[in-house]
Structure formats: C-alpha cells, structure tokens
Structure 1
Amino acid sequence: MHNKNNITLSAPLSGPVFPLADVDDAVFASGTMGPGLAIDPLNDCLHAPCAGEIIHIARTRHALTLRTDNGAELLLHLGLDTVELQGEGFALLIEEGARVHDGQALLRVDLDRVARHCKSLVSLVVLTNGEHYHLQPVARTQVKVGEPLLRIVPRLPDEQHAAASTTDTDEVRGSARVAHHGGLHARPAALLRQTAQGFSCTARLHLDDRSAPLDSLIGIMGLSVGEQQEVQISCRGPDREAALQALLDVLRTPLSDTGHAAPPPAKAIPPRPSEDGVLQGVCAAPGLVCGPLAHLSGITLAPDTGHHIADEQLQALDGALEKVRSDIHAMLLRARQRKDSEEEAIFNAHLALLEDPVLLDAASQAIKAGQAATHAWDRSIEAQCQVLLNLGNPLLAERANDLRDLRQQVLRALLGEAANYKLPPGAIVAAHELTPSDLLQLSQQQVAGLCMAAGGATSHVAILARSKGLPCLVALGAGLLDIVPGQVVVLDADHGRLELSPDEARREGVALAHWQQQLRRQHQDAQARLPANTRDGLHIEVAANVASAADAREAHLHGADGVGLLRTEFLFVERRSAPNEEEQRSAYQAVLDAMGDRPVIIRTIDVGGDKQLDYLPLPVEANPVLGLRGIRLGQARPDLLDQQLRALLQLNPLQRCRILLPMVSEVDELLQVRRRLDELAGELGIRLRPELGVMIEVPSAALLAEQLAEHADFLSIGTNDLSQYTLAMDRDHAGLAARVDALHPALLRLMAQTCAGAAVHRRWVGVCGALASDPLATPVLIGLGVTELSVSTPQIGEIKARVRSLDAAECRRIVPSLLQLGSAAKVREACRQHWPLG
C-alpha cells in the first residue's frame, strides 16, 4: 500500500490556512487524529487535493477519506461539530469507491445554512495514517483551490512493503462490536495496545470517519468508543491476519472496567463548607497536622520569543525525555524491589504515556513549526489532557493528571534548577491538583500535609500519600486556592476538615497531640515484639496482612506474630499470563521463610468482581461484586485452583502453612476443596495436611458459622466485604464510604454468631479486615471472642499496646450491650466511653 513516491497536495478549499493546534477542537488540535492543516473556507465546494480513491464517506456526508496513490489516507472534514447536522447542507458529488482526479469536485456545502447550525466552518485536512509519512507544509497563510498546500513524504524507504502495489491485498480489515463495559476506556485500550505490540504489523482502530493508531493509548481513548459500538480494525504487515484476529478477539471479549478496587473520584461529591472557617473535603490519607499553608502552582512559562533553531530544540526535548525516562525507570525498579504493585503500576503508566507517538509527534511538529521545546511540550500535553477531559469519563479525567505530571517532569528537565520549588519544613501544601512527581519531591522536603482543590481517591497521588504517611485531603473546592499563603491551618484528614482559623488553643492542642502520638508510637514500636496479652492473661495473636515476601520480612521485623492474610493476587496481576506452579511455590515459600517460625495464612486467589486479570477475561456482569469471584472462580476454573493448591502443598514446613478460602457461602464449597486437597496430597505423596480455613465475608457464611466450623480448622472474618454485603452499600462508593462501618450493630451480631458457632467446635476466629487495625474496635472484637487480629504492618505495635491495656472479662461483659444499639455511630461513642483511646 505504501510506495516511495512523494505527493504534493493541492488546496481542496480556498481561504486562510493555519495549524491544527489552533483549531477549537481538542481532538483535532491534539493531533489524536493525525497531522494536518486547517482552512477557513471562502468557497462552497470541496475539491480532491490529488488523485486517489474515495475509501470512506461519512454517513452524515460532512467528511470523506481519500487514499492517495502512495497509500496515504487523507481525512477531509468540513466544519466542526457538523456531524450533528445529520447531512443537512451537504451534497455529495461522488460515491464511495470512486476513483477521482486532482482538483475534482467532491462535495458541495451550503455555507450559510451550515454556519448557522455548527460550531465553526473551519475545515481539516488530516493524514490519518501518519505513522508511514511526513507532512511538509508548502502553503502560505492564504490559499486558493488548486494551489500547493502540503507535501507527503514516506518516512523511511525500508519501512515500505517490498511490493509497490496499491491494491487492498496489503491490508486486512475486520469489524467487531465493543463488548467492554463502558467502551474503550483506559484498561481495555491498554490491552488493545499491548496486543497490537505483539505482532509485526501496523494496526489502526476505525470509528466512522475517525481512526487512531493502536500504538497510541491516547489515540485509542480519544476516539471515545462506547460499549456495543461497531468499530473496524485494519492491519498491514507480515502477520496482519493473525494480528487482526487477535485484536478483534480483544474487542469482543469483555473485561470488567474497574481493575483494582478503588473508590470513584472524590470530586464527584461537591465540596461545601460545613461550618464557618472550615472547608470540607474527602480523606485521601489520614492524619492530623497543623502548619502554615503554602501554595504550589504548576510551572508557568514566559511567552515564547520565537526564532528558535528546530534541531537544537528537538535535541533539548530528546535529552529531557531521556532523563525523565531514566528517573521513572529508577523509581519503577525501587517499587519492584519493595514489591509495591500500586507504585509499579503508576510508573508503568507514566512510561507508556511518555512513549506515546501521538504526544511525541505533536511536540515535534510544534518545534518544527518554530516553538521552543518547553512550549511545544506544554501545548501537546494540554491538548491531550483536553481530549481525556472532554470524554466525560471521570476515571479518564483523573488520568489527565498523569499527563500533567509528565508535563512537570519534562519541563523541570528542560528548565533545570529554575523549575524546582522550595518549601519550609512543616508546611501544609495547597494546590489545585498535585502529581505523583510533585508528591515525591514534597515528601523529601518534610512537609506536614497536602490538600487539593480537586483530585480524587482513585488518583495516584492519594495512593502515594498513604504510602508516605502524609495526611492528605482532596476535593476541597476552589476556595482552597483563595486562602492567603502563610496562614496557619489545621488539616484534620481523619474527619475531612481543613480548619482555616484555628485559635491558639486548637493549634497547641494539635501540636501536643502530634507530639504525644509520635512518643506513643515510638514506645509501641519498641514493645512490638513482645506478646499481646490482656491484663487478665488472654493471649491475642497480632499478625499482619501482606502481599509479598518483602512485606512479610517487614512485618516480622515489626513484631508480627505471623501472617494473618497473604493476598496471593500479587503473583497474578500486572502480567500477561498466569504464574506456573513452581513460580507460585517459590513465592509462597519465600513468605514462609521470611516469617521465621511464625505461621502464615495464605488465601487462595481472590479475583473477579472488583479485581480483574487481563489474561483471564470474565463475562461482563451487572453487579460484578455479586458475581464470579473468590472460591466461585475456583469452581469455574478448577485448573487454576488445583495449580495453586499443589504449590501450597509443597511448602516446607507444611505445618506452618494455613490455607484460607475466600467468598465461601455454603458448606459444600468447603467440603469440595477439602476433598480436592486430599486428592492432590495423595497424588504428590504428601501425608501432612495444612490447616484449612474459611473467610467469613458474606452473611450466609456468618449464619452458617457453626456448620462451617465443623469442617474448617479456623474462621477468619473479612470485615470489609462483610460490611458491604450486610449493609447493601458499596464500600468504594464515595458518597457512602463513611457509612460502611463494620462497628454497625448488625455486623457485630453476625460476628458474635460466627464466634459462637466456632466455639461449639473449639475453632479459633480471627479478623483480617480493616476493623482489626482500628484500635477503637479492639475491645469489641476481644469481647466477641476473636483471638487473632491481622493488621497493617505499621499498626502492629499500636494494636498490641491496645490489647495489653484491656481486661478480656470486662470486654465480654460490656459487648452484649453494644449489640442492642441502633447505629455504628452509637457503638463508636459507647466504645470511647468504655475504653477511651490514648
């Protein structure tokens, strides 16, 4: 399809000419559709810019695509938002498939009628398969029909097909309806891009008269393809047939649209002052701090003076991009060494965006047009951000913040020290929205906390703030940016409050509380390796929730009595195929070794619902959290469960390994796994059997606790899921999250029934959900009969200290009265009265 011939395009319209970047349409201006030019038409007829074939005409007649004799595909698009006219005012003079000559009249337009009903008459000439060609402008600022406009030059001769034929045999096409829930948003778009990269061909995605290369994540998302829309895939290259089939399969195989569990953007809840002098926001990372407010703005650029040497600017941009890539690779390596899958995913996403050809080509074209590298990069980023923001998808809008992060990083590399900022230690940083690289710099400057006017709980900044222990509030509203810098404020992230005018007593109280908390934490950490016994001698095992061997080593160092929950999903996510049996065995053995002589509870894989694997496509479900997940997936895919059970049976010493089954809802599910465990042990010649436990995270399991305990060795309550299933509230719903409280008396009753049922068969009960890490809840859990608490590693010392301060008999005496209360708030208030904190 692509031969070596250069082609000069003549102007298809008469009028002023200007670059795509100046077009008042984010998709065209960003270069998502491809490079090109815009013309503000003064005539009423569109002419062919060269000889070729009309390969597509929009149903609404406002646009058509011409394939030139060297294989270039030109989109000729009349006006902006003219698709809304549904063809009114446009008269076709040719048919799809027609062969046309240079200058031939193609389309007549009623300028007055169209101008009255569309956004603009500005018309576009766009090269949609620009990966094969360079566009060289030859026009002046004004053209007439037939005058030279652009020159199309093949990029590299050795990239062209050996055959100079222009027949369709060099390209294969196929169509499919998009089965992904929500359409081609970030996750399925990334899978489509990843699949295309596995073949030696060039592939494009087509929607009506628009298309995007499949090597561009931004380009794919920019098409805003909806669920059940029909699209086409075109492939050119040696293995085009195989690539086409694989890409069509990706489109037709639905995936969940959620990835990891995460709440919707906090900005969906409009912030409002709850009282005078207080801004109300959403907690992204907990904590209570006081300090002077410091505004942090993005890097601002002085006006571009122009007259730059393009080669020098291109070289400067390449150097800055290389530095940022190197920095991100270093951060990625450190995240991998720490087994921090969340940070690793952030930095992988940044690398993918940094290599996006749409982004890089837009910046390069702007530099060649005379802009400085700084301004070219800035404008190309902002244009792509606008594309994502205009799609109306809040999750994609948050990904625009990742692009702005790359803007900051590359500009810092281009500007040097002039772009860095200094803040006083102890400052509370306020910004419209921070980026991950902002946060990493700020965490090294000893700032006290962070607050943002926008932002969301799904943002990468929120994840990093929690990992760095920096209190952080988001969604505080535009009023945040009006606060005078230097004003002392109190950031109470635990209660979602920014107090703007704290008096001296409040400030001193916060400072004292912060100091006391530090001293208390130091003392608790010093005692963390000692046993956790109540005042009357009841031993409570305080274990840790971990997701890797590195986490386990840290937990052991901080005094964990064992691992109360190993989430084996860490082995299965962020990869293209499932881990094999030996890889699993080795990973689980590393966790066992890291814990010395302590027991390790290993939960079988819990995916489905809110956690999806790209290589294990599951059907789209109206309510995925109520669908195929946990042990139900093991029943549907017994090969996956068998492989994991075989790996677990080969651990040494096996008696320190305990297996935990997620999402069990009836006794038969437990019995089926126990039988299979016995069969596999027999096949492997293993006489020992690891303890087998059941997670209590659905109400039916709590109600059947006595029957389950008859066949299980232990029960472990997952309070996070048990809360949402009992209260019928999505625990990740931004508007309901505060109400999904596991201290609700209904939850306490289910936990009481679980402990009572286990006691009948002398089984022990643990808690591995978030409630175990809440020191206010510790006496309640002990009073219910829980003897094991699995908590986050930083809280081991705190929870052990809390246990030592309690009398178990007193807890058992008081707790039944809590079950009679009417709400979680009343339970919490009663807990504060009976067992005050600190």
Structure 2
Amino acid sequence: MIIIAGPLAGWVTPLDEVPDPVFADRMLGDGVAIDPTDGRLVAPGDGTIESVHPAGHAVTIALDAGPVLLLHVGLDTVALDGEGFTPGVKAGDRVATGDLLVTIDLDAVGRRARSLVTPVVVTNGDAFAIEEPAAPGVIAAGAPLFVLRPTGAAAVPAVAKAMPEAERTLALPLAHGLHARPAARIAALAAETGAADLVTADGRTASAKSAVAMLALALRHGDMVTVRGDTAAVSAIAELLETGMGEHRAVAAPMPAAPVTLPDRLTGIAAVPGLAIGPAFRLRTTAIAVREEGQSPALERQALGAARFKVRKALEEVARRAGDGAGIAAAHLAFLDDPEVSAAAERTIDAGKSAGFAWRAAIEGFVAPLLASADRRFAERIDDLRDLEHRVLAALDGGAAAAPALPEAAILVADDLLPSQLMALDTRPAGIALARGGATSHVAIIAAGMGVPMTIGLGPALGLVEDGTDLILADGALTIAPSAAVMAATRADADARAVRRKAAEARAHEPAVTTDGIAIEVVANLGSAADARAAVAAGAEGCGLLRTEFLFLDRAQPPGEAEQRAAYQAIADALGPRPLIVRTLDIGADKPAPWLALAAEENPALGLRGIRLQLARRDLLETQLRALLGVRTEGALSIMLPMVADRAELSAVRALLVRLADDAGVALPALGIMVETPAAALTAASLAEDAAFFSIGSNDLSQYALARDRTNPAVAAGLDGLHPAVLRLIDETVRGGAIHGRWTGVCGGLASVPEAVPVLLGLGVTELSVPPAAVAEIKALVRGLDMGRCRGAARAALIAPDADTVRALSRPLMEDAA
C-alpha cells in the first residue's frame, strides 16, 4: 500500500463534485480534490518532478513508489499567466514528502480564478487503485489523503514505432497554451482515432494519448507544434487544435482605441544622442509572401540550402570588415547555422511544405517563446531572428529588393528597423526616428558606429508623419513641421556647432585646462581595439571605461582567459602610454548573454547583474581577473567594478585580486568602483577606504535615483541626469572620496552633455570619460571655463528646484566659454 499525503491544507472534496468535467469525469485519472486554506503546495511523497506548467498552477510528480500524480491548483487558473504562483521547483528536481513545490497567493488567485479547488489525480491509474480516501472535511498538509493499491496490471511492452503516415505543423492557437483541459480532449480524441505524437520545435515528443505527457511539453500560445502519426489521428487532432478549442486569443478589445493624432513634438529615448535636421523619409517594408505547399522535399531542401548559402556569403563578407557590423554579422551567422533552426525547417519541408513556409515556421518557433516571455531583455534578439527570416526569404524570392533611394540629409522614419535594412542603405541618413526599437539593439549599435543620431520609442503617432515633412531630431525629441523661423534658428545653431567642432578638432591633442589653471582629464569610453585607435586619434588622454561585454555577448560560450587577454592587450597596445580603466563583466538586466542561463526576473535592473552576478559566478570573475593581470601596458592599468552597493562586495573582489596577483607575481592594479547606485553614493566615504577611485555611471544612477526605467519609453523621456537629486548623489560621492584622497570621474552619458560639464567640474569631478567623437568638443569647453564660477553654479544647482533651473545656471558659463 502506498500512502499519498495531502499536498495542501484545506477541505477534502470528492472529485465528482469538482465543477469541471475534465476532472469530474476522470478524463485525466482518478483522485481526490482539496479546497485550500493555505498557500503552500507541498510534495505528497518522495519522487521526481516531471513538469511544472509555465503558469505555475500545475505540477506533475513521479513518486518513487510508481504513481504519477498531477496536482492542479484551481480551475481556469492557467488564464492568470502565473500571477499569484511562485514555483519552487523545476522539472527534474528530486523532492521529499512535504517539500515546498509552489507558493500560492490565495487572495490574488481567489479573486480571479473560477475556483481554488485543487484536484490531486493519479494519471497512471491502470496500475493503481484508490482506497481509503479521506472523508470530506478539514485536512492538514501531510495528512493521509488516500491510499493506492497496485493492481498488478502489466506495463504495455514498448514496440518499435512505424514511420508516421501523416504530419501537420501549426502555431498553437490556444490562448493559454496546452493546459489540462485541451490536453484531456486531445487524449480522448487520440484514443478514438489512432496513435499520434505532438512534437515541439526543439524536438521534444509526447504521445497524444497521454494528457500528462502533453502537459510536460509546456507549450505556449504561438509555439510551433507538429502532429505526427496515423492519418486519421493527425487530421482530427490538428483540426481540433486549429479550432482554438474555444480559447482563441482575442484580436481586438471591444472598446474603440483612442484616436492617434500628430502633435508638434514627440519624445522618446535617445539611443544615439545628437542633432539632425531634414525631411522625413518613411521606410516601408513589404512582407514577403510564401506559398505553403512544396513541390518535393528534395527540391525544397535544395532551394533553402541555396538561399542560406547566399545569405551566409553576404554575412561572411560583412564579418570580415572592422567595426560594429562585423560582430553583428558573426552573431547572425551563428543563428543562420543553428542546428535546431535547421532541423525544424527540414521537418516542415518533409511534411510537404515549401522552403519559404518552412523557414518562416522555424523562425517563428523560436520567436514565439521570446514574445511570450515577460523578460523584456530578450525582445531585441527577436529583431535578429526576424532579420534572418527576411534575408533568407528574400534570397528564396530571387534576391533582396533594391535598397530604397534615401534622399540626401533625410531623417529615416519607420515603425522599427532591421540591421540589414540599415546596412543596405546607399546613403547615410541624417538621423533615425523609430516608433518602437531598443536602446541596446543591434540597429542602435550600428547607428552609433555610423555617427547617426537615433531616437526610439516615439510611439504610434510617428506613423502619421508623411514623407517630406521637415523634422528636427535632437537628443530624444522629434519636432514635427517646425516653423521656418525655428528651422532657420536650428540650422544656424547646427552650423555654429560645426564651426566649433572643427576648431575643437584642430586642438584635440592639447590638454584640457580651465582658464584658472585646473587640469581636467578627458578620456574615452571604449568597447574594442578599433574604438581605442579612434579615441587616440580624437585626442583622448586614455580610457576611462572599457566595456568588456563586447567579448561575452552574442556567442555560445564565454571567452577563455587567453582570448580575453589577447583582446585586452590589443586595446592596451592601441592606447600606448595612456591609462586604461577596465570595467569587469557587466551583464544581466538589458544585456543578456545566450550562454548564461539566468532565470526571468520581474525587474532585471534590480536583479542579478554587475558585481552581484560576478560574485555568484566567481569562475567568470576569476578568469577575467587572471586575463587582466597578464596584460602588459605602457600606461597604468586599473580595474573597475560595476553596480557596487555594499562594501562587502568590494572587499570580496579585492581579496580575490590580491591572491591572484600574488600567484602571478605581478603588481596589484588599482581597484575602483562604478558609482551607479544611490547606496554607493551615500556610503562613498566608507567605500573609499577600499576603492582607489570612483567613476560615476550617470545613466544607472539617474534611473535608480529618479525611479525611471531608462529602457522604458513610457517614462525614460523624463530621465535627466541634471536633476538636483542626482547632482546631490554626485556631490556626496566626490566629498566622500576626497576624505581618503580618492578622485572621482564620470563615465556615463552626462559627461558628454555640454550643459552638465560646468556643474560636474564645480562639484569636484576631475575626469570626464566620453565617446571618442565627443572628446575634442568637451576638451574645448573645459578650456573656456573658470573653475570659480563653476563651483558657484554647482552650489546653486544642489538647491535648485529642477533640472531646467540647473541648465539655466550652466548656460551663461557655456556661452562665455564658446
């Protein structure tokens, strides 16, 4: 006899009284239900977790004694999409009786679900009979719920599967994915019509006769699934799925949408800061039509292979060039040759579909789960997959259409933009304005490399801008059809900027010393050896921030010690005698790495990132520190830690660095920190005992101080590093560091904002790290400033009511310096 412990505290209810025929009619198996009074779902016995539904409401556990149990919390709870459920286990985990499986917010779930009643079902009921079920009434978690007696029924011997007679591939239309109710209906249909399997895009298979096996596939809305098996079963199951089974996702809300009107000005996020003036040119993308039915599998495979070969050659050509496009092309090559994508396309071709249909379906199979993910970090990788889809379909269609003829000095306007579309333009746009887009997308990286100002997140109203409309794009704002006087004034300002830029470039290699003799170090933010060479040519006095993420992103495995050392050495060689400050790996949040399995986070900006991730994965940190200790430099090499909020984090890394330097027999490099959290700014005096220097990451510091997500277009437009609250944190950092003789620099975007420079210098900042293209102009501005006046403006800025007042304080100093 096998005793099954109650997985919940609550009220025992016979399965017949559960108000859902899937359970009451025992379509999934026999069992007992509990109406819970406690929000802890625990293991009813020792065993292994077979599956946890993505919505967190259902767990399947295979007990060591043989029974396989489905624990299904509530009815229609799949529609909550995980709200109110916090799983504590995953498929494959070993659990003991009473171990926590899922935490349930009973109030949140109870308000929205049809019922909280929780069936406990034996899914392999042929082998076990239920005896001694607990009587209706109160039960404690862990108390006996029922007893199972093995029936002695022999397992069905495994037989070799015949080749499937038929196959159908479709995108799952079920709004809440394949959960218990539709799985039970499919199993009943398979029992009537014949043998069939459901096969996912990544090759996982489940028998259509086993509802529990299908649940373990965790299929979501939009996932590609293949029904494979007997002709009658495949046809019946596919047709049932295509009906949506009453769960089609609604296409439109019943209430009419508010009308979209075109204002005079739109605000978004400056993915690439800068000023652009010119007429609008709308990029219109036409979807490539594909036929569904193929000619023969052999011909369709040949056509797809030829198209991929053509795309591969084009990407390899770009990958051989220097610059940001090369790394992006290399990442796209990895996607193009991904074996799972290839296998999914070939399976669809074998089912009689065309090469184009198969390629689109294969890409969609990988895009769908990214779209369904609550983790916004992955959305920008969808653009890469869509780009590959477009490239291959264009090659199948006879080659990519000719790039649109972009007028000179036009501002490119689009809903969104693919990397290949930008790289295909024959004429460099004056600026780029996008309704959607991502600040860390590959398009943004390419635009920055081209020196093209780009603003994203301008919203649906951008779609009303007509071709030829005069536009002014300036640091995150788009002015639409400005008056002739505004256009003339802006052009005059742009012309004056150009004159000043030319004069600044002529003196770019001179030091930046204020009118009263205070030297300010102007260095560059770098991400590659090519950036280092450009910075030296632009007059940078060193590197104030080397972003080492360029080595870790868009690849299948992290780089080893030798590869890292070679990359860092190339940058040090390019800088020559100039100082190099290297920031250790800063990934997580909006910079995910494919090789690093991170759980989805409700708020990644506050999650496992920066120094937290490094200390959680010390193997990565130790490899990077060893690589850096092996670099030989003419100038000083310093190491900087990101996202520090606690002195213990700094102390832990310092102890590791000391040990590694002793092992290597090399001098200990200076170890500083990025000040990106209010905690670091407010405890700067304590941190300065261990930190050799501070460098303020103004972008993150501003978002944390002002509670505005810098990647969210709905709120990021109000993010302003000149807000007095941010300036007070900078002031606290400078004063805290000065107690121990530590210098403070700024390496965030604020360092290259001309209006911010007088205030930053007045607060005591002695180093500005900016993009290479901004070095000459920032140095020229510093040379025209009087430090005494800067200090006065800074004191007033700290008690100013808002950022606009701070700008008004700074503007006269800038005008006098020009």
**Alignment TM-score, normalising by the size of structure 1:** 0.63
The superposition leaves residues 65-122 of structure 1 with CA deviations (integer Å, 9 ceiling, x where unpaired) of x9994243867999976989947997988986xxxxxxxx549xxxxxxxxxxxxxxx
**Residue 277 of structure 2 is aligned to residue 298 of structure 1:** no
Worse-superposed segment, 772-781 or 284-293: 284-293
CA deviation after TM superposition for structure 1 residue 815, in Å? 1.0
In 2, are the aligned partners of 1:271 and 1:280 still within 8 Å (CA)? no
**475 and 726 in structure 1: CA distance in 2 versus 1, 3 angstrom threshold:** closer
Query: Partner residue of 1:754?
Result: 733
CA deviation after TM superposition for structure 1 residue 421, in Å? 3.0
Q: Among 72, 75, 84, which residue is 2:164 paired with?
A: 72
Q: Give SS of 2:452's match.
A: coil
**341 and 471 in structure 1: CA distance in 2 versus 1, 3 angstrom threshold:** same
**408 and 700 in structure 1: CA distance in 2 versus 1, 3 angstrom threshold:** closer
Alignment of 1:353-372 (within 5 A): 356-359=342-345, 362=348
In 2, are the aligned partners of 1:655 and 1:690 still within 8 Å (CA)? no
Q: Among 468, 489, 497, which residue is 2:470 paired with?
A: 489
Q: Among 418, 439, 445, which residue is 2:427 paired with?
A: 445
Distance (Å, rounded) in 1 between the aligned partners of 2:353 and 2:190? 39
Alignment of 1:625-774 (within 5 A): 625-653=605-633, 656-686=636-666, 688-774=667-753
In 2, are the aligned partners of 1:288 and 1:510 still within 8 Å (CA)? no
**662 and 828 in structure 1: CA distance in 2 versus 1, 3 angstrom threshold:** same
Distance (Å, rounded) in 1 between the aligned partners of 2:499 and 2:702? 34
Higher RCO structure, 1 or 2 (CA under 8 Å, sep 6+): 1
In 2, are the aligned partners of 1:654 and 1:690 still within 8 Å (CA)? no
CA deviation after TM superposition for structure 1 residue 577, in Å? 4.3
CA deviation after TM superposition for structure 1 residue 541, in Å? 0.6
Distance (Å, rounded) in 2 between the aligned partners of 1:715 and 1:421? 48
**355 and 627 in structure 1: CA distance in 2 versus 1, 3 angstrom threshold:** closer
The superposition leaves residues 343-400 of structure 1 with CA deviations (integer Å, 9 ceiling, x where unpaired) of 65456445549954444665787776xxxx8x86897699779967985869577666
The superposition leaves residues 507-544 of structure 1 with CA deviations (integer Å, 9 ceiling, x where unpaired) of 33343333333333333233222211111111111111
**93 and 569 in structure 1: CA distance in 2 versus 1, 3 angstrom threshold:** closer
CA deviation after TM superposition for structure 1 residue 624, in Å? 4.5
**423 and 458 in structure 1: CA distance in 2 versus 1, 3 angstrom threshold:** same
**347 and 815 in structure 1: CA distance in 2 versus 1, 3 angstrom threshold:** farther
Query: Partner residue of 2:769?
Result: 790
**Residue 412 of structure 2 is aligned to residue 425 of structure 1:** no
List runs of 5+ in structure 1 lacking aligned partners.
Answer: 1-54, 58-65, 97-104, 108-124, 131-188, 194-201, 226-268
Q: Among 525, 528, 538, which residue is 2:505 paired with?
A: 525
**614 and 495 in structure 1: CA distance in 2 versus 1, 3 angstrom threshold:** closer
Distance (Å, rounded) in 2 between the aligned partners of 1:740 and 1:453? 19
Instruction: Report the residue type matching 2:642 in the other structure.
Output: P
Q: Among 535, 551, 557, which residue is 2:531 paired with?
A: 551
Q: Give SS of 1:430's match.
A: strand
Alignment of 1:102-501 (within 5 A): 106=193, 204=205, 222-223=222-223, 273=261, 275=263, 277-278=264-265, 282-299=269-286, 318-334=305-321, 341=327, 344-345=330-331, 348-349=334-335, 352=338, 356-359=342-345, 362=348, 391=372, 401-402=383-384, 404-406=386-388, 408-410=390-392, 412-413=394-395, 414-416=397-399, 419-442=402-425, 444-457=426-439, 459-476=441-458, 480-481=462-463, 483-485=465-467, 487-499=468-480, 501=481
**475 and 641 in structure 1: CA distance in 2 versus 1, 3 angstrom threshold:** closer
Instruction: Report the residue type matching 2:312 in the other structure.
Output: R
Q: Give SS of 1:736's match.
A: helix
CA deviation after TM superposition for structure 1 residue 818, in Å? 0.7
In 2, are the aligned partners of 1:92 and 1:106 still within 8 Å (CA)? no
Distance (Å, rounded) in 2 between the aligned partners of 1:339 and 1:440? 8
List runs of 5+ in structure 2 lacking aligned partners.
Answer: 1-123, 127-157, 226-256
In 1, are the aligned partners of 2:275 and 2:475 still within 8 Å (CA)? yes
**410 and 95 in structure 1: CA distance in 2 versus 1, 3 angstrom threshold:** closer
Q: Give SS of 2:714's match.
A: coil
In 2, are the aligned partners of 1:332 and 1:348 still within 8 Å (CA)? no
Distance (Å, rounded) in 2 between the aligned partners of 1:302 and 1:671? 59
Distance (Å, rounded) in 2 between the aligned partners of 1:469 and 1:622? 34
Instruction: Report the residue type matching 2:310 in the other structure.
Output: K
**328 and 796 in structure 1: CA distance in 2 versus 1, 3 angstrom threshold:** same
Q: Give SS of 1:739's match.
A: coil
In 2, are the aligned partners of 1:755 and 1:784 still within 8 Å (CA)? yes
**752 and 566 in structure 1: CA distance in 2 versus 1, 3 angstrom threshold:** same
The superposition leaves residues 322-341 of structure 1 with CA deviations (integer Å, 9 ceiling, x where unpaired) of 21221122223436x65965
Alignment of 1:44-55 (within 5 A): none
CA deviation after TM superposition for structure 1 residue 602, in Å? 1.8
Instruction: Report the residue type matching 1:451 in the other structure.
Output: A
Q: Among 759, 771, 785, which residue is 1:806 paired with?
A: 785
**601 and 270 in structure 1: CA distance in 2 versus 1, 3 angstrom threshold:** farther
Give the share of equivalent positions with the same residue, in percent.
40
Distance (Å, rounded) in 2 between the aligned partners of 1:575 and 1:339? 15
The superposition leaves residues 384-443 of structure 1 with CA deviations (integer Å, 9 ceiling, x where unpaired) of 79967985869577666545534543455444586443233223333443322211122x
Worse-superposed segment, 418-427 or 801-810: 418-427
Cα-Cα RMSD? 4.9
Q: Among 474, 487, 496, which residue is 1:516 paired with?
A: 496
Q: Give SS of 1:821's match.
A: coil
Distance (Å, rounded) in 2 between the aligned partners of 1:526 and 1:757? 37
Distance (Å, rounded) in 2 between the aligned partners of 1:510 and 1:56? 78
Distance (Å, rounded) in 1 between the aligned partners of 2:652 and 2:680? 16
Q: Give SS of 1:777's match.
A: helix
**752 and 629 in structure 1: CA distance in 2 versus 1, 3 angstrom threshold:** same
**464 and 394 in structure 1: CA distance in 2 versus 1, 3 angstrom threshold:** farther
In 1, are the aligned partners of 2:344 and 2:362 still within 8 Å (CA)? no
**570 and 211 in structure 1: CA distance in 2 versus 1, 3 angstrom threshold:** farther
Query: Partner residue of 2:91?
Result: none
Distance (Å, rounded) in 1 between the aligned partners of 2:679 and 2:515? 35
CA deviation after TM superposition for structure 1 residue 569, in Å? 3.2
The superposition leaves residues 300-333 of structure 1 with CA deviations (integer Å, 9 ceiling, x where unpaired) of 77999x9999988876654333212211222234
Distance (Å, rounded) in 2 between the aligned partners of 1:386 and 1:685? 49
CA deviation after TM superposition for structure 1 residue 615, in Å? 4.8
**833 and 659 in structure 1: CA distance in 2 versus 1, 3 angstrom threshold:** same
In 2, are the aligned partners of 1:273 and 1:279 still within 8 Å (CA)? no
Q: Give SS of 2:423's match.
A: helix
Query: Partner residue of 1:62?
Result: none
Distance (Å, rounded) in 2 between the aligned partners of 1:633 and 1:419? 45
In 1, are the aligned partners of 2:288 and 2:394 still within 8 Å (CA)? no
**70 and 554 in structure 1: CA distance in 2 versus 1, 3 angstrom threshold:** same
Distance (Å, rounded) in 1 between the aligned partners of 2:658 and 2:375? 48
**Residue 541 of structure 2 is aligned to residue 561 of structure 1:** yes
The size of the alignment, in residue pairs, is 626
Q: Give SS of 1:803's match.
A: helix
**624 and 56 in structure 1: CA distance in 2 versus 1, 3 angstrom threshold:** farther
Instruction: Report the residue type matching 1:767 in the other structure.
Output: V
Instruction: Report the residue type matching 1:438 in the other structure.
Output: Q
In 2, are the aligned partners of 1:363 and 1:380 still within 8 Å (CA)? no
